[in-house]
Structure 1
Amino acid sequence: MGGDAIVLYPYPGLGHLISMVELGKLLLTHHPSFSITILASTAPTTIAATAKLVASSNDQLTNYIKAVSANNPAINFHHLPTISSLPEHIEKLNLPFEYARLQIPNILQVLQTLKSSLKALILDMFCDALFDVAKDLNIPTFYFYTSAGRSLAVLLNIPTFHRTTNSLSDFGDVPISISGMPPIPVSAMPKLLFDRSTNFYKSFLSTSTHMAKSNGIILNTFDLLEERALKALRAGLCLPNQPTPPIFTVGPLISGKSGDNDEHESLKWLNNQPKDSVVFLCFGSMGVFSIKQLEAMALGLEKSGQRFLWVVRNPPIEELPVEEPSLEEILPKGFVERTNDRGLVVRKWAPQVEVLSHDSVGGFVTHCGWNSVLEAVCNGVPMVAWPLYAEQKLGRVFLVEEMKVAVGVKESETGFVSADELEKRVRELMDSESGDEIRGRVSEFRNGGVKAKEEGGSSVASLAKLAQLWKQK
């Protein structure tokens, strides 16, 4: 393998891997002299409660890598050995960070093999265990952050919160203030950051500390989309009393269309719907709802009167009436028949990129995952923000309050969203003056994303700075 080597190490989740692969493709497109190696791994399936879900995800990863390898032979995937079992002491919650720690001996072999030509190691946030290893080997280390620049600003402030408060709860009803950001309600902060006794929290604290000390942070965003937050980050205003590493915005990086020859049923159905008339509901690979919540969603969609395309995953395993229930067993009786003239329910998966790019789709109910947000923005589709986990409540604040590209659902204290609430938000997005204003703003951002990736655009210029930095090493 010739050329200056760049090693990318993504977390073994499809959303993380896809954006890291897109980064590799982008580098080869604009700077083909680099040699790109992606460290590919799969997650252990030894925890019974999640074994089936993880196994399914691993299958998706394997199929995706095969497809990428076939179409992009210049990208080298180095397959790390599968970890067959986990040490008993590992905290289940901390597994995302522990995967990388367990792979250190295997990765060390790869890094030492490439040492003479290695210009940079690019880590996913969850692969932070490699930071100290890379520093010991004197390898320039960068982080590729797969979420928004605004949530990066929050993450980099975790050491400050840790030092100045006993808990995030100390903020009480006072919104958290970070330069370049809208006021952040404490309730929007990820719940897992409130318990400081967990290894998961300690891993996040370590990661945010290491990111601030890294050679740079690469972001899947573009300057126009997060202008105020990026200015504050680059000016060092988000990290009190210490310098911020260089910030490189190289997005929007989204996966291309699947290229399957057989058109998915959802696309065939969309071909027969009017322009901008359909609201698309999809909540990512981990978007699992209770039967009660699925029933409320169905009733809300029915009452809204809007056309819809809804991806439904099975409810939690403990609620399943049978292993593979029919729609009739998890949705209200007669719902599919009553809405057959204006709605389509598909099971488990739909080709999201193709769906969002379809002329018939005029709205997107999303869990606020950053990849999904970028896919919607790049296709000019306004959103209903329904966060489920991780940093997604932060995402709702940004999408609704700062970017103004979404309306946000209001949930109960237990996280339940009523049928009436979903009906209101879908109607607001699809059939109101405020929905039209949101649609206009998303279109502006879509155009900005196109310009950012053109020659002379902000993201191409940022990538050039990054490549120049590596070539000087």
Structure 2
Amino acid sequence: MNQTVVLYPSALVGHVGPMTKLAGAFLKHGYDVTVVLVGYGTTATDRTAIEGIVASNPSISFHVLRPPPAPPATSSDSKHPLLVLLDLLRRCNEPLGAFLGSIPRQRLHSVVIDMFCVDAIDVVAAAGVPVYTFFASCASCLSALTQFPALVAGRQTGLKDLGDTPLDLLGVPPMPASHFTEVMLEHPEGEVCKAITEIWRRNTETMGVLVNTFEQLESRAVRSLRDPGRNMPAVYCVGPLLAGAGNDKGKDGVDECLAWLDAQPDGSVVFLCFGSMGVLSAKQLKEMAVGLERSGHRFLWCVRVPAAAAGHVDEHSEQEQEPELDAVLPEGFLERTKNKGMVVKSWAPQVEVLRHRATGAFVTHCGWNSVLESVAAGVPMLCWPLYAEQKMNKVWMTAGDGMGVALELEGYRDGFVGAEEVEAKVRLVMTTEGEEGVVQLRARLRGLRDEAEAALADGGSSRVDFLRFLLDVKNLEVGGRGAAHPVNNLQILNAEAP
């Protein structure tokens, strides 16, 4: 009977998706996998997305925790969403413990939690099961964020007061203080900042961290994380964990998008997509359209209509109706660009688009899944970060002493990118010769594309790291919890079977 790995993401759909990709790595090595869900998301959109993830992964078992109800809220309660999420996860500790107790101990291989589920560490430890962290973002972010508790210790003001002052952090290029996530800029003694500080402190208390990256992409950050002076647990690079091509087959718009790309010349299309939550203002969409049109390049643009524009009500149906695209774009834009561009609402088959021979560049919000997909396809990027850790990712992506895989769209710090900037940067990144920096960028991406594939192949760096992780867990079983044992390559190669 196979051993079972339990994966425990938080209630956010952006965390459930990457966990299911990690599940695939365990399945390939002969383990059974159960993903523990904290309900089916906190919003209707999340529920729909998570239900889709469950339906499309029949090889994975899913178990839904039923937490006790929260105390009745008073009219004065207005908790920050992060605190609401952490409270929900704490209430799930008891049902999580009961679920782990229902599985025979000899069948439990390990529990892998995501970064928000740190209160589960004690529950898993009490069950006598090895507990690890899965970090779905990059090693550079992990390096910076784990230094955050020390950075704010003893401060009398929040990091917001530092503005764009560059911070010299271990393992990464200098980063403006303002590029930390919003909650990390608040006063260190504030409830939300204290909560996120505790999260980053406790994330280093598991037995190791599985990171969705590959060493060749972030060698500087990985070396720093593994430096004994950092006092980090074991770090395993196990990526890039990506959705496979063809996963979007049957979804509306797939055939139309790909058929349009089939008709375009090689490397001639700039793809613009800002993720499942990336909504730009109507004013910004119009400005962006002007820049695209002036650039003269072919484009495939995924547009999410702003709520303010989408919020009109049909008098007969009494339902909110999404307006047509020409209602949020410049007058005549779609007609004028119909021979050079394609605009789709909300969604495009991103993996297939990035891997298509016609795609020459990617304008992205810098979400880590999107970055990895573009790197694995060898496509250079233009950075337009919007929220969460995306500004941090932008720093690592564009720095010559970082990843060096992208160029920056100026104006994102002020929340508005002008048409002139869009036009200039699209023209620059689509240049195939003459611009030395862009030529080098494209050459680096071609190399990283090959290295991403090699990292997951037999003998590749990520494959070896994952096998090392499996062997470390096996050694815990042999030597007792917390025992350390030297490993060699022969042991790693023999560690595949559960």
Matched, 1:147 2:144: no
1:338 to 324, 336, 339: 336
Match for residue 51 of structure 1? none
Q: CA deviation at 1:210?
A: 1.0
Matched, 1:423 2:419: no
Match for residue 483 of structure 2? none
Verify the 8 A CA contact 2:41 2:47 in the aligned structure 1: no
Give the SS at the match of 1:38: strand
Moved more, 192-201 or 366-375: 192-201
Q: CA deviation at 1:82?
A: 8.3
Verify the 8 A CA contact 2:67 2:92 in the aligned structure 1: no
Aligned ranges 1:128-143 → 2 under 5 Å: 128-143=118-133
Q: CA deviation at 1:172?
A: 5.5
Match for residue 93 of structure 1? 81
Matched, 1:79 2:67: no
Q: CA deviation at 1:20?
A: 1.2
Q: CA deviation at 1:4?
A: 2.5
Verify the 8 A CA contact 2:183 2:196 in the aligned structure 1: no
Give the SS at the match of 2:145: helix
Verify the 8 A CA contact 1:452 1:460 in the aligned structure 2: yes
Match for residue 66 of structure 1? 55
Show structure 1 runs of 5+ residues with no match: 46-53
Moved more, 34-43 or 453-462: 34-43
- How many residues matched? 454
Give me the whole-angstrom Cα distance separating, in 1, the residues matched to 2:45 and 2:235. Answer: 35
Match for residue 283 of structure 1? 274
Matched, 1:175 2:172: no
Q: CA deviation at 1:316?
A: 2.7
Give me the whole-angstrom Cα distance separating, in 1, the residues matched to 2:206 and 2:48. Answer: 33
Give the SS at the match of 2:472: helix
Aligned ranges 1:43-58 → 2 under 5 Å: 45=42, 54-58=43-47
Q: CA deviation at 1:130?
A: 1.2
Match for residue 491 of structure 2? none
Give me the whole-angstrom Cα distance separating, in 2, the residues matched to 1:40 and 1:87. Answer: 23
Verify the 8 A CA contact 1:221 1:249 in the aligned structure 2: yes
Match for residue 289 of structure 2? 298
Amino acid at match of 1:424: A
Matched, 1:468 2:457: no
Give me the whole-angstrom Cα distance separating, in 2, the residues matched to 1:55 and 1:373. Answer: 27
Structure 1 moving runs of 4+ over 6 Å: 82-86
Verify the 8 A CA contact 2:67 2:91 in the aligned structure 1: no
| 1:169-210 CA-partner distances (Å, limit 9, x unpaired) | 465654211222111111222222011354432232111111
Give me the whole-angstrom Cα distance separating, in 2, the residues matched to 1:412 and 1:246. Answer: 36
Give me the whole-angstrom Cα distance separating, in 1, the residues matched to 2:278 and 2:160. Answer: 27
Q: How has the CA–CA distance of structure 1 residues 175 and 121 changed in structure 2, closer, same or farther, with 3 Å as cutoff?
A: same
Give me the whole-angstrom Cα distance separating, in 2, the residues matched to 1:98 and 1:427. Answer: 48
Amino acid at match of 2:152: H
Verify the 8 A CA contact 1:161 1:168 in the aligned structure 2: no
Show structure 2 runs of 5+ residues with no match: 314-319, 478-498
Amino acid at match of 2:350: Q
Q: CA deviation at 1:275?
A: 0.6
Q: How has the CA–CA distance of structure 1 residues 183 and 413 changed in structure 2, closer, same or farther, with 3 Å as cutoff?
A: closer
Verify the 8 A CA contact 2:11 2:37 in the aligned structure 1: yes
Match for residue 410 of structure 2? 410
1:102 to 58, 70, 91: 91
1:252 to 240, 246, 249: 240
Give the SS at the match of 2:119: helix
Q: CA deviation at 1:104?
A: 2.2
Verify the 8 A CA contact 1:289 1:316 in the aligned structure 2: no
1:36 to 33, 37, 46: 33
Give me the whole-angstrom Cα distance separating, in 1, the residues matched to 2:176 and 2:397. Answer: 14
Matched, 1:207 2:199: yes
Moved more, 84-93 or 95-104: 84-93
Give me the whole-angstrom Cα distance separating, in 1, the residues matched to 2:17 and 2:198. Answer: 25
Verify the 8 A CA contact 1:264 1:350 in the aligned structure 2: no
Match for residue 371 of structure 1? 369
Give me the whole-angstrom Cα distance separating, in 2, the residues matched to 1:286 and 1:112. Answer: 37
Verify the 8 A CA contact 2:178 2:185 in the aligned structure 1: no
Q: How has the CA–CA distance of structure 1 residues 295 and 98 changed in structure 2, closer, same or farther, with 3 Å as cutoff?
A: farther
- TM-score of the two chains, using structure 1 as the length reference: 0.90
**Structure possessing the higher radius of gyration over alpha carbons:** 2
Give me the whole-angstrom Cα distance separating, in 1, the residues matched to 2:160 and 2:20. Answer: 38
Amino acid at match of 2:101: Q
Verify the 8 A CA contact 2:163 2:176 in the aligned structure 1: no
Verify the 8 A CA contact 1:217 1:248 in the aligned structure 2: yes
Amino acid at match of 1:234: R
- TM-score of the two chains, using structure 2 as the length reference: 0.86
Q: CA deviation at 1:85?
A: 7.3
Amino acid at match of 1:111: L
Moved more, 393-402 or 311-320: 311-320
Aligned ranges 1:253-402 → 2 under 5 Å: 253-257=241-245, 258=247, 260-261=249-250, 263-317=254-308, 320-321=311-312, 323=320, 324-401=322-399, 402=402
Q: CA deviation at 1:284?
A: 0.6
Match for residue 49 of structure 1? none
Give the SS at the match of 1:425: helix
Verify the 8 A CA contact 2:384 2:412 in the aligned structure 1: no
Moved more, 268-277 or 108-117: 108-117
Match for residue 218 of structure 1? 210
Give me the whole-angstrom Cα distance separating, in 2, the residues matched to 1:44 and 1:454. Answer: 34
Match for residue 127 of structure 1? 117
Q: How has the CA–CA distance of structure 1 residues 447 and 85 changed in structure 2, closer, same or farther, with 3 Å as cutoff?
A: same
Match for residue 11 of structure 1? 10
Match for residue 450 of structure 2? 447
How many percent identity over aligned positions? 37
Moved more, 78-87 or 211-220: 78-87
Give me the whole-angstrom Cα distance separating, in 2, the residues matched to 1:68 and 1:130. Answer: 25
| 1:385-404 CA-partner distances (Å, limit 9, x unpaired) | 11000111111110001211
Give me the whole-angstrom Cα distance separating, in 1, the residues matched to 2:248 and 2:302. Answer: 20
Give me the whole-angstrom Cα distance separating, in 2, the residues matched to 1:212 and 1:464. Answer: 21
Verify the 8 A CA contact 1:180 1:229 in the aligned structure 2: yes
Amino acid at match of 2:118: D
Give me the whole-angstrom Cα distance separating, in 1, the residues matched to 2:438 and 2:450. Answer: 19
Give me the whole-angstrom Cα distance separating, in 1, the residues matched to 2:161 and 2:96. Answer: 40
Give me the whole-angstrom Cα distance separating, in 1, the residues matched to 2:426 and 2:308. Answer: 29
